[in-house]
Amino acid sequence: MDYSRLTALLIEAAKEQQGEIQKEQAQLAKAISQIKQQQSQLRTQSTTMRSLQAEVREARATLRKVKAQVAAAQPALVARK
């Protein structure tokens, strides 16, 4: 058996495998970066959503007050006619 040829094949296979590992590591790093970016966007969107929900609650409260004022004023308006 020609061990020198086998050694050369094994070295070449190891180099090829190392290249694939490096390529996969780069893909993994890119995926992790994208995940971190998406998490950041999600946090921003969640904060915006909470802010919008608070605004809606405030608007509803104001609307209830206005409705109550209109309802209270209606008998007086009807009596004036």
* Residue 17 structure tokens: 């495998």
pTM score, whole prediction:
0.66
pLDDT of residue 78: 63
| Distances in whole angstroms, Cα of residue 32 to Cα of each of 21, 29, 76 | 16, 5, 66
Cα(72)–Cα(81) distance, rounded to whole angstroms?
A: 16
**Residue 79 confidence (pLDDT):** 64
Check residue 76 and give its pLDDT: 67
| Per-position pLDDT tens, the chain of length 81 | 778 889 999 999 999 999 999 999 999 999 999 999 999 999 999 999 999 999 999 999 999 999 999 998 887 666 665
Task: Identify the pLDDT of residue 66.
Answer: 96
